[in-house]
Amino acid sequence: MSEYKSEFLRELSWRGFIKDTTHKAELDAYCATGTPVAYVGYDATADSLHVGHLMTIMMLRVFQRHGGKPIALMGGGTTKVGDPTDKEKSRPLLTDAQINANIAGIKTAFEPFIRFGIGPNDAIMVNNNDWLGELGYLEMLRAVGIYFTINTMVKQDTVRRRLEAEQPYTFLEFNYLLMQSYDFLELYRRHGCRMQLGGSDQWGNIVGGVDLVHKAEGGEAFGVTAHLVTTSSGVKMGKTVGGAVWLNADRKSPYEYWQFWRNTEDADVGKFLRLFTDLGREEIERLEALEGAGINDAKIALANAATTLLHGEAAAKEAEAAAKAAFTGQGSLDNLPTVELSDSAVDLAKGEFKRARSTVTLVTTAGLAKSNGEARKKIEEGAVYVNDEKITENRNHSFDDVLPEVGAFKVKLGKRIVLVRPVD
């Protein structure tokens, strides 16, 4: 039996989200009555969110499914400082124009997961620059600074690590805790928000906000953190050779997104089914029980369910069909990710390369290796295929090697396949 009475916390619990909560009994009671309001904050450090953010997005999705009202807080103000949490050095400062452009891109990442509107539990999106940008320095010190002690702030893990490593921790960054805590206070005042969700690395900031709401308003507020997700091999969630796995379709195609989930390590399939899909408990437990070759069926189910959430069912089916075509030779390759091999590499009119293109070049151009050295190593290990032919030593490829049906090289490393298309 679950330790929680509210359906929201019960589902978060069996899916494996919850790491820590504040005031557990009171939080449970709040989530079980009326229309609870919760928020997650996202700083605008890039023009898209990535899979690493998906944990908290899915928490908001579950929250809304059980009648809660989600708030997606854009950090237009806090991004000007930069969250120092778990960072060993200061973030580069962005201009207002960069921040606003990033926020515009980020907004589209939420729409497949959370319903926005004007209904009682429809989500809303707000920007903390609306209040932080208008708050004078002395006003900030008097309104917020009186509730925080240096004694407590220097005990935060981020501060302690920087000081122990003799790395600079700027006064600008030192204010981040106050700013994020003030966000919670403003959302409490403006929207009746009494709960913040976040990753476990945000625990100190969340507790700061909970305490500020209580001290400044005498209000009751709560925090819930989720485990930070790493793969069984210890890799941070969403980090790949090709870079971050972005949620915006213009940054990562449906096929690449599908393939990311299909390539999940065996030991992580059950965990990811619980965290990143809407599949029910009975179906997940059935898939978790599969062994041997059956694990591949669970991985395909994970890839289909996760891709359907972000890109829709049709795109998921197309991605699965493209993967089948790529690995079995049956069907169209048109939906595979494609990159261009340019820089006057080929004279299309003459049907020939202007200069030789090596296997190493194809692998690095495809984004399957970070460097020429890494590409050479993979080639020597026999892990690289060009047009389904295993390549065990670096060699030159001619224009005649291009697959006529797609006008590109089919480059494969492990379970990743990319078409490399010559252009003039």
Give the residue numbers annotated as catalytic, written as ranges: 45, 50, 53, 87, 91, 180, 201, 236, 239-240
* Between 407 and 192, residue with greater pLDDT: 192
Average pLDDT (97-119) is: 90
What would the mean pLDDT of 24-36 be, rounded to a whole number? Answer: 95
pLDDT of res. 348: 53
Q: What is the pLDDT of residue 89?
A: 53
pLDDT band at 355; cut points 50, 70, 90: low
Whole-model pTM? 0.78
Q: How many CB atoms lie within 10 A of CB 25?
A: 10
Helix (H) or strand (E) holding 143: helix 137-143
**Cα→Cα distances 51→84, 96, 190, 226, Å:** 20, 25, 30, 15
348 contact partners, CB below 8 Å, separation of at least 6: 422, 423, 424
Can you tell me the distance from the alpha carbon of 22 to that of 224, in angstroms, rounded to the nearest whole number? 7
Local confidence band at 247 (pLDDT 50, 70, 90 cut-offs): confident
Query: What domains lie within the chain, and their CATH numbers?
Result: 7-226 (3.40.50.620), 253-328 (1.10.240.10), 338-422 (3.10.290.10)
Cα–Cα distance measured from residue 191 to residue 185, given in angstroms and rounded to the nearest whole number? 10
Of 98-112, 169-183, 292-306, which range is least confident? Answer: 169-183
Segment 184-193 shows an average pLDDT of 96
**What is the DSSP annotation of 363-374?**
HHHTTS-SSHHH
Read out DSSP for 172-218? Answer: HHHTHHHHHHHHHHHHHHHH---EEEEEGGGHHHHHHHHHHHHHHH-
Contacts of 264 (CB under 8 A, 6+ apart): 231, 272, 299, 302
Return the residue matching tokens 């959370």: 114
Strand duo 18-21 + 222-226: pairing? antiparallel
Rg (CA), the chain: 24
CA 275 – CA 55 distance, rounded (Å): 7
Report how far apart, in Å, the C-alpha atoms of 152 and of each of 85, 167, 223, 369 are.
Answer: 15, 20, 18, 44
Instruction: Share the mean pLDDT of the chain.
Output: 85
- What integer pLDDT is reported at residue 353 of this predicted model? 55
Q: What is the mean pLDDT of residues 177-200?
A: 94
Q: CA-to-CA distance for 376 and 364, rounded, in angstroms?
A: 10
Question: Would you say residue 278 has pLDDT above 70?
Answer: yes
pLDDT of residue 84: 59
Q: Supply the DSSP string of 244-297, one letter for each residue.
A: E-BSSTTTS-HHHHHHHHHT--GGGHHHHHHHH----HHHHHHHHT--TTHHHH
